[in-house]
């Protein structure tokens, strides 16, 4: 039966060989997540506070 999983010596990261392609992918993922977090933070601060309660209606949870 053939082994389908690579041994530790066949994995590039384990042997100390670093590829530029992997570094670019990791860098792009980190930058993308930071940008996405910044957009989410801006949207939350800009659109986050909404006055949903009517001014003449008392707050319903205070009744109970």
What is the domain extent for residue 23? 8-32
pLDDT value of position 39: 96
Residues 12 and 19: their CA atoms lie apart, in Å, by 8
Asked whether residue 55 is domain-assigned, the answer is no
**Total tally of structural domains belonging to the chain:** 1
Asked whether residue 16 is domain-assigned, the answer is yes
Q: How confident is the model at residue 3 (pLDDT cuts 50, 70, 90)?
A: confident
Six token digits for residue 35: 């940008």
Residue 33 scores a pLDDT above 90: yes
């Amino acid at each position: 039966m053939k082994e389908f999983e690579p041994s530790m010596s066949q994995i590039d990261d384990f042997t100390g060989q670093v590829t530029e392609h992997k570094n670019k992918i990791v860098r792009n993922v980190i930058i993308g997540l930071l940008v996405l977090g910044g957009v989410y933070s801006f949207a939350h601060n800009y659109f986050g506070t909404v006055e949903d309660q009517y001014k003449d209606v008392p707050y319903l949870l205070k009744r109970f």
